[in-house]
């Protein structure tokens, strides 16, 4: 189970990472907002974000994650007592907030609660099921083989089921700064060939969605 940890305090970051690693988690640590934004991916089970960090603050990182993954569990951590900042974190979509200093054991409990209550699978359309944790796609119980990029694209669209995901967001999530509209159109075309007709909808000038 992978944990995304954004915390600029080196000692606290290491303490959290070492504790969670000892408990069986795989932790990816980041120390500034830019680094964290470039590492956002769909294979993290829980995201832990400090608010007051260098470069790009945790609220903006929270917004970027929430735009791509509306259901991803996000825990904010901060020493702030400013209720306006805390309220903004909840408004932007965080699931929980922990005020520093906190007991790392409590953080572990919250992480386990989120992962235990997470939805295991989503029925995209009749007969087409997506297993979230394993990123497997089944059609009438038969697995459909997907490339790594096809899995990323499908995961983003499934996470945003019923909403249009912009071309820019998808490109950044899959290719980082190296994506372009042509690559994305080619990827969408390849994935569509593996899915029932009209599973992926094109919203001209906006992006793509699964209804």
Contact criterion met (CB below 8 Å) for 73 and 45: yes
Domain range 121-209, its CATH number among 3.20.20.70, 1.10.10.10, 1.10.150.20, 3.40.50.150: 1.10.10.10
Q: How far apart are CA 55 and CA 98, in angstroms?
A: 22
Using alpha carbons, list the distances in angstroms from residue 129 to 56, 136, 155, 176, 187: 37, 8, 12, 28, 20
Locus of tokens 């305090």? 9
pLDDT of amino acid 134? 76
pLDDT of amino acid 118? 56
pLDDT of amino acid 104? 95
Q: How far apart are CA 62 and CA 51, in angstroms?
A: 9
Residue 129: Cβ within 10 Å count: 16
Element (H, E) at 144: strand 142-144
Encode the chain (211 residues) as per-residue pLDDT tens digits.
789 999 999 999 999 999 999 988 899 999 999 999 989 987 888 999 999 998 899 999 999 999 888 888 999 999 998 999 999 999 999 999 999 999 999 999 999 888 775 557 788 888 898 887 778 899 988 899 999 999 999 988 988 888 888 898 888 888 887 778 889 999 999 999 999 999 999 887 789 999 8
What lies within 8 Å, CB to CB, of 179 at 6+ separation is 170, 171, 172
Instruction: Provide the CATH number for the domain formed by 2-116 in this structure.
Output: 3.40.50.2300
| Domain spans of the chain, in order of start | 2-116, 121-209
Q: Where are the alpha helices (DSSP H) in 103-180?
A: 104-116, 148-159, 167-175
- Which tokens go with 17? 């990472």
Mind listing the pLDDT tens digit for each residue in 64-116?
A: 999 888 888 999 999 998 999 999 999 999 999 999 999 999 999 999 888 77
């Amino acid at each position: 189970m992978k944990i995304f940890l954004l915390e600029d305090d080196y000692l606290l970051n290491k303490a959290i990472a070492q504790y969670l690693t000892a408990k069986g988690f795989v932790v990816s640590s980041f120390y500034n907002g830019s680094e964290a934004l470039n590492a956002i991916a769909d294979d993290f089970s829980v995201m832990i974000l400090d608010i007051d960090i260098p470069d790009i603050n945790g609220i903006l990182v929270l917004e970027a994650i929430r735009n791509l993954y509306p259901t991803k569990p996000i825990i904010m951590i901060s020493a702030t007592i400013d209720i306006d900042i805390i309220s903004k974190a909840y408004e932007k979509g965080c699931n929980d907030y922990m005020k520093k200093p906190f007991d790392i054991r409590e953080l572990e409990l919250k992480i386990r609660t989120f992962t235990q209550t997470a939805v295991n699978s989503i029925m995209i359309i009749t007969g087409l099921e997506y297993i979230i944790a394993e990123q497997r796609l089944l059609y009438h119980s038969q697995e459909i083989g997907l490339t790594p990029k096809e899995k990323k694209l499908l995961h983003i669209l499934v996470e945003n089921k019923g909403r249009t995901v912009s071309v820019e967001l998808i490109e950044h999530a899959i290719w980082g700064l190296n994506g372009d509209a042509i690559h994305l159109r080619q990827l969408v075309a390849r994935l569509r060939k593996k899915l029932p007709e009209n599973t992926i909808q094109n919203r001209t000038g906006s992006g793509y969605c699964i209804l």
